[in-house]
Every structure is written in structure tokens, then in C-alpha cells.
């Protein structure tokens, strides 16, 4: 039952427990208890709203920062990740395979604020060897949701 609950909640965290119980063919109490247990076990870590900031008047710049580090003896990557994710600007930190160690995702109002975060807070950390910042130019799909409709140019091609 857990996997079914998680699959539904991942797509629609606002679903009513009663509706979810009917959908799964379970009792409302059983579903509510299972959700509460998963919250206590930190399987369900939070409920978020996906916002298409491009449709609002609010300006947001999303940056993905590649970070190369030197892991500290006896502490590995976890201690460095903790130092990074404790910055309030950081939305996500992922340990990666390949050419760099971490991907750090932040959102700020301007590119300058992103640059200040990298130069003033992230890059000076002891274990950081290098960073490379990439700015998201446009989001088409986020967390499994298409954010906008693709507008197809229906004009006729005219050649001389």
C-alpha cells in the first residue's frame, strides 16, 4: 500500500485522504495511519507547491552549480554536503558521479546575487576545489509537470 500512496501523493499532494482511500480500495483510517507513519519515518519529507515563476511578476534566476571538492579524511562527502545545504540560499544538493562531485541548485532574484553567493559563501569553503555555474534559461518541465504550452510557429515560410 505504501508504494501506491507515495505514487499518488507524488503527483497530487493535495488529494483528500478520503479520496485516496477510495482510489486505493483501503479504509480512510488505514491510509491516514500509513501516511503518518511515513512522515515519522521521513519517507515523506514535505509537501511542496510547484510554481511557474515565469507566469508571475516575480523575477527568479535558477542556477545549477557544479562543485568539485576534496573529501575530508574520515568524513567523506557528507560533512561537505551538510555545510553546503545549511546555506539558506540552497534549494538542493546532490552527490554526483562523473566530472564533478556535487550539483547545488539555488534560486535568487538576479544573476548578481547568484554570483555573490558563489564567490562569498560557496567557493571559500575549505574543501571546495572549483565551481562552475550554469543558469537555467527556460523551464519546460519541472518535477514531472509541463510548465507551459509549446507555441508552434504556424506562419508560412516564404522564400524569394
* Measured distance CA(102)–CA(71) in Å, rounded: 11
What percent of the chain clears pLDDT 90, i.e. is strictly above it? 66
When pLDDT is cut at 50, 70 and 90, the band that residue 153 belongs to is low
Q: Check residue 139 and give its pLDDT.
A: 87
Q: Check residue 150 and give its pLDDT.
A: 65
Residues for the chain: how many in total? 160
Beta carbons of 27 and 120 less than 8 angstroms apart:
no
When pLDDT is cut at 50, 70 and 90, the band that residue 48 belongs to is confident
When pLDDT is cut at 50, 70 and 90, the band that residue 40 belongs to is very high
On the 0-12 / 13-18 / 19+ scale of CB atoms within 10 A, 9 is middle
Cα R_g (the chain), whole angstroms: 21
When pLDDT is cut at 50, 70 and 90, the band that residue 152 belongs to is low
Q: Check residue 25 and give its pLDDT.
A: 93
Q: Check residue 59 and give its pLDDT.
A: 85
Q: Which residue has the higher pLDDT, 78 or 144?
A: 78
pTM (predicted TM-score): 0.77
Q: What mean pLDDT is reported for the chain?
A: 90
Amino acid at each position: 500500500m505504501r508504494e501506491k500512496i507515495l505514487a499518488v501523493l507524488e503527483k497530487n499532494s493535495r488529494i483528500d485522504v478520503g479520496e485516496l482511500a477510495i482510489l486505493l480500495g483501503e479504509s480512510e483510517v488505514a491510509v491516514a495511519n500509513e501516511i503518518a507513519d511515513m512522515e515519522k519515518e521521513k519517507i515523506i519529507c514535505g509537501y511542496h507547491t510547484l510554481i511557474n515563476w515565469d507566469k508571475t511578476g516575480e523575477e527568479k534566476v535558477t542556477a545549477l552549480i557544479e562543485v568539485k571538492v576534496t573529501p575530508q579524511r574520515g568524513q567523506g562527502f557528507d560533512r561537505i554536503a551538510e555545510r553546503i545545504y545549511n546555506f539558506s540560499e540552497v534549494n538542493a544538493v546532490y552527490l554526483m558521479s562523473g566530472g564533478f562531485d556535487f550539483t547545488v541548485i539555488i534560486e535568487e532574484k538576479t544573476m548578481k546575487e547568484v554570483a555573490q553567493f558563489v564567490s562569498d559563501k560557496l567557493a571559500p569553503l575549505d574543501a571546495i576545489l572549483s565551481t562552475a555555474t550554469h543558469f537555467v534559461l527556460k523551464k519546460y518541465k519541472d518535477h514531472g509537470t509541463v510548465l507551459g504550452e509549446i507555441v508552434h510557429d504556424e506562419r508560412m515560410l516564404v522564400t524569394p
